[in-house]
Every structure is written in structure tokens, then in C-alpha cells.
Structure 1
Amino acid sequence: MPSPAHAFPFDPRHGHTRETLLGVPAPTAPEDFEAFWRGRYEEALAVDTAPELGPVEAERDGVRVHGVTYTSVGGVRLGGWVALPDGTPSPGGGGAARYGFVVGHGYGGRDRPGPDLPLPLPGAAAILPCVRGMGTRGLVPGIPDTADAHVLTGIGARDTYVLGGCVADLWCAASALLTLVPELELPGAPRLGYLGESFGGGLGALALPWDERFGAAQLTVPTFGNHPLRLTLPCTGSGEAVRAHHREHPGVTEVLAYFDAATAATRLTLPTLVAAALFDPAVPPPGQFAVYNALAGVRELRVLTAGHFAYRGIAEEIRELRAHRERFFREHLGE
């Protein structure tokens, strides 16, 4: 498949074909990789998220959309949106929701839930959080809201790196959704699904291996895969800021090893659909495919012509991906 015409000073395919991309491996994990992440998860699970639902802001795609706030690790209060199926009673009183989704966002956050709806399954509830520092409802003092600065926040140590907090924000968002829609935790009820694209895809790969509340996931053009390789590949996304930082601080590789989405994927056993692009100026394709290649459980791959780039045929590929997503979640999360 030929590359889309472009004017970038580098090859957004980085010389790869589909065949070579399917051979990109995951880096070896630090010895205490699992212990680190399980400890972070237990900390997040202990948080009283105290979610507060706001008034209805929109009604569309079979759901009512409310604003929401909740507490995450470190006492950080974050916002976002909750989508409840039409006809559900008030949260906390039981209702018609049969499935739940946590929906991550791209780097840059979200200021509305627009393209994240409709949800993959009818009768689904969802929380669409803004993780710390991102989007109009995730702003936090001391955390920059631009991708290039955000991705470097606290990068000097694994315990302070902002990505760890962002992963915790997703875990706490799941807790908040289960508090608001308690029928999702009843015996025999389906578990949660996860949807994440780009930044949200990479965070999802880091979050999901440790959280048994989830039953299936979709990761679209996921970032943070195979950091040692990413550091050699120019891009237009947040990875370029990390590359520049690494040139001055080569020891940062020891921290990045704990935040590698491909390494985490080797522990990810729940059914996962990955949409990975052959051409992507922002998130190098080898990193995306490294995440898919490393998955330890049932997996499915949809190959996109390009990511983070407009191209002829994009609307049709998006429609096809949505159809595959709906079938995938019916198969692995549905009743």
C-alpha cells in the first residue's frame, strides 16, 4: 500500500511494511515491573472517588450525557462526562445499564464527548474522564496542559512521572462509574470495557493488565510502545519532546522502562482489539504494532492506512472500524 502524500522531513512509516511491523518486539521489563504497577493499582483502588453527577448536558445516541467530577490518587479532583442509557433511573438506584465503558482520550484532552459516542453496545453506560492536566475538566495546578510539556512532567523518577498519575485517573474513573451505576457490579453482570485512542490507547495498555474489572478493550493507534525504539524515531507528537529530553538526560530510559505500553501488553490477557496504522507522523507505527504483537491474550488487529493524518478513504475506514468494534465487544463483553 503506497504512503499518503506528505511534506514531513521524515518517513512516517520509518521504512516499515506491514510484515516487518508484525515483527517489532516489546522491550524486556524491569524486574519489579509488575510489583510497581500492582502497587499503583492497589493505591488507586483504595481511593474514595466520591463522584458527583451534574445536570444533563446533552441527549444523543441513545444516552443522556452528564458532567461529572471525581477524586483520583493524591486527592486530585478531576472532571469529565458520564453517559447513561436513556431510561435509566437516577444513579445509585439501579437501572437499565448492562455494560460499562471507560473511554480514554488523545493527547490534548477533550472538551466534549463528541466523537466518543455512540458507544459500542446498546444499553451501555460510560465515563469519559479528563486525566490530570488534560482538557478543560482535567486542569491541575503544576501540570502543563500541552502535550510536549505534559509528557515530561515528573519524568525524572518513576514515582513522580505524570503518566503514572494518568493511569491511576483511569482506574479511579472506573471506580467512579461503578459507584454511579452499581448494577454493573452485581453478580453475573458483564464487566467493563475500555476504549482508548493514541494517548488513551497507551494509557490503557498500562492500566488494563492489573485491573480484573475489565473484560475487553480497544486500543487505537496506541502510543508509548517500545520506548527504546521510539527514542530513535522522529515524530510530530509528544515522543519528540521525550527524544529531545533524552539527548540531555540519557538516564531517563530507566524511568521510561516502567511506562512502556508494549512491555505492559505482555501482561495483558483480556481480549483486545488494536487498530494500528502503517503511516503515522505523530505516533511511530513500530511502537503501535509492538503493543499488538506483545498482547498475551485473545487479540485482533485492524490495520489503518494512516493515523493522526487525513487521507482519502479515512471516513470509510472509520466506519469499518466502528463496525468491527461493535462486533468485538458483543462477542467478548456481551451476554
Structure 2
Amino acid sequence: MTFPAPYDTWFPDAAFDSTYGFDESALRRVRPVAAPPGLAETWRRWRAEAKGVDAAPRTLSSETVEGREVSVVEHAGADGIRLRSWIVGPATGAARVGIVHSHGYGGRDAIDLARVPDDAAAIFPVARGLPTLNAGVGAPELVEQHVLAGLDDPDRYVLGLCARDLWLAADTLLAAAGDLPLYYVGESFGGGIGALALPWDDRYIGATLIVPSFGQYDERLAVPCLGSGEVVRAHVAAHPEAREQLRLFDASSTLGFTRVPVRVEAALWDDYVPPPGQFGVANAVRDLDLEVLPAGHAEYPGSDAAAARAVRRGRAHLTRALRAAS
């Protein structure tokens, strides 16, 4: 199998062409999936219901990491289950902004401060069911079970619950750090659930979504991948009615309702989250800062420098969003 340059030399042993035949020009033309009737009303109902849930945070432990106070906290999820997260205070003084910083489908075993400025407080929520803090809590741990859990019931579908849990994580951060403007950071799984949750929470001033998942299911379901999308593709092939069940949870459909500036870091090659899905999410944004990455979910020549550059530009986007909101 021959791949387009430079991927033929970067990933010669890849199982398939993870550009899926799209160049950057074609990716920029991928249309978001139109929101089905009732999408906004359903998500607004869920947001209203979450406002009635007391996060009731409780600190379980604290330590100092890189000069910052880091605590493990327990708090309510959208349906009242108890979840655990890390909360990080600012390096010095009072925080100017609060960051809700999600993770990929592997979960999280430690905090990562690369995208958290010194003058920010942050919460690092761990999605229900996922390691390390919430393994098996409220959802199956295994990805192939997790991504399908509750799909037949919109109120119980795990991706919707994970997105709704982010609202309670934000409540928990603000209870600890005070009334702050919020900024969202999420990668892959976290990018997708952030795109589901962000439009309905008016506390946010902006977001960065890195190689976001769960977008443009028309494209995702048409191609193979190595990530959770392959599980969903196989399920829909066996149960065609599931395509309709996914419509409320398409990140390209929900993100079109967002009015705040959003930065999307989308990849031209990615065998875990197909690029047409990522760009479907990006192309839904009204106020878009797009960074095109050579590849996602992979190391390649120059990837460390590209990642460092993306972090710098992501921090700059946060600064601009904070300035515009003040």
C-alpha cells in the first residue's frame, strides 16, 4: 500500500492510509452534521437538570506539585454518582481564570500543567468509568464497552453523561477557586465531550479542542480506525438504528451552537480519530482558531516541536479570550 508523502516514510507499516484520501483543502470543506430537531432543547434540559445537582465537593488529599497545591477531590456527577478529580491552584496569588482540562480515552494518571498558566486554577476531571481515579465508577472501564454504554437511552448514554459531568466538575472548581471565567481544554475523547458540553454553559470564555473525537458521524462511520470509532462503526453496522441514536451526541452538530472563540488543533493523518471527523468539528465553529497538525495520536519527525508550538499558541488563545471577555 502506498501512502501520500511524507506519511509513506513516516508510517510505512501503517495498516491503512490515515488521511483517508483527504488533503487539507478537502478537509476544510467537510460539513458538520446538521443538528436534528430537538438537539438544542435536549441539551438545554440536561444543563438545567445539572444546575439542580449539588456537586458537594470533598477534598480527599493534598500535596504540592511544581510549586502548586494539588488536591484530589470527590464530587457529584450529573446523575449524582461520586467522581474524583484533581484540582490545582495557581502558582502565586489569586487565579484570573479557571481551566477545565479533560483527557483522552485512556483516562488520566497524573496532571499535566503544560496548558495551565501560572495565574490559572484548574480541575482535571476523569471521566466516569475511566482510570485512574474513576475506573469502573458509573460506566465500564474497557473502551469497547464504555463507548456503547447506554446508547439506546439518550438520558443514559455514557458520552452524554461524561459531557454533563463536566458541568459539575466546573462547579467543583469554582467552589474551590472562586467565581472565575472558565476556559476548556480537551484532547481526543476530551475534545469531543467538551464540544458536546461547551455550548450550553455560559461560564466559558473559550476552549481548545485537540484532535477532537465524536464529530461528523457520517464520515466516522464510513471508515476504519484504531480508536473507539471502530467499535461504534461495527455496532452501527450490526444495529443500523444506532445511527439515529448517535445524532444528539455528534460534536460537529453541538459545537455550532457555541458563541465563544474555540481553537481546534486538527490533524491531517490520524489512525485513531479520522481527520474528516476532526475537521467536521472545527468547521462548525463560528469564531475559529485552527491549527493544522501533520499527524495526531502519533510521533513523527518534528512532533515534539509541533506539540510545543501548539501549546504556546493554545496559551495565547486563552490569553486573547480572557482579554476579550474582560
- Into which bin does the TM-score normalised by the smaller protein fall? over 0.9
**Among residues 104, 107, 113, which one is paired with 2:105 in the alignment?**
107
Question: d(CA) in 2 for partners of 1:6 and 1:169?
Answer: 40
Question: d(CA) in 1 for partners of 2:119 and 2:132?
Answer: 28
CA contact (8 A) 1:49 1:172 kept: yes
CA contact (8 A) 1:97 1:183 kept: no
What amino acid maps onto 2:143 in structure 1? A
Question: d(CA) in 1 for partners of 2:190 and 2:135?
Answer: 17
CA contact (8 A) 2:184 2:194 kept: yes
CA contact (8 A) 2:81 2:138 kept: no
After superposition, give the CA deviation of every residue in 1:65-112 in whole Å (9 maximum; x if it has no partner).
Answer: 111111112211000200001345xxxxxxx11110000110021111
Question: d(CA) in 1 for partners of 2:69 and 2:57?
Answer: 17
Identify the residue that residue 292 of structure 2 maps to in structure 1. 303
Matches within 5 A, 1:1-335: 2-3=6-7, 4-60=10-66, 62-87=67-92, 96-113=94-111, 116-141=112-137, 143-184=139-180, 191-296=181-286, 298-334=287-323
Shift of 1:53: 2.1
Q: Aligned with 2:89: secondary structure? A: strand
Per the alignment, do residues 50 and 327 of structure 1 end up closer, same or farther by CA in structure 2, a change over 3 Å counting?
Answer: same
Question: d(CA) in 1 for partners of 2:308 and 2:92?
Answer: 27
CA contact (8 A) 1:108 1:145 kept: no
What amino acid maps onto 1:69 in structure 2? E
After superposition, give the CA deviation of every residue in 1:129-183 in whole Å (9 maximum; x if it has no partner).
Answer: 1111111212345621122211011112222211111011111000111111124
What amino acid maps onto 1:154 in structure 2? G
CA contact (8 A) 2:269 2:295 kept: yes
RMSD: 1.4
Question: d(CA) in 2 for partners of 1:328 and 1:86?
Answer: 20
Per the alignment, do residues 142 and 124 of structure 1 end up closer, same or farther by CA in structure 2, a change over 3 Å counting?
Answer: closer
After superposition, give the CA deviation of every residue in 1:306-329 in whole Å (9 maximum; x if it has no partner).
Answer: 111111111000110011011111
Unaligned runs of 5+ in 1: 89-95, 185-190
Question: d(CA) in 2 for partners of 1:141 and 1:200?
Answer: 18
CA contact (8 A) 1:26 1:294 kept: yes
Q: Aligned with 1:160: secondary structure? A: coil
CA contact (8 A) 1:278 1:304 kept: yes
After superposition, give the CA deviation of every residue in 1:181-219 in whole Å (9 maximum; x if it has no partner).
Answer: 1242xxxxxx10000000000001110011100001000
Moved over 6 A (4+): none
Q: Aligned with 2:242: secondary structure? A: helix
What amino acid maps onto 1:286 in structure 2? P
Unaligned runs of 5+ in 2: none
Question: d(CA) in 1 for partners of 2:290 and 2:321?
Answer: 15
Identify the residue that residue 92 of structure 1 maps to in structure 2. none
Q: How many pairs are equivalent?
A: 318
Q: Aligned with 1:64: secondary structure? A: strand
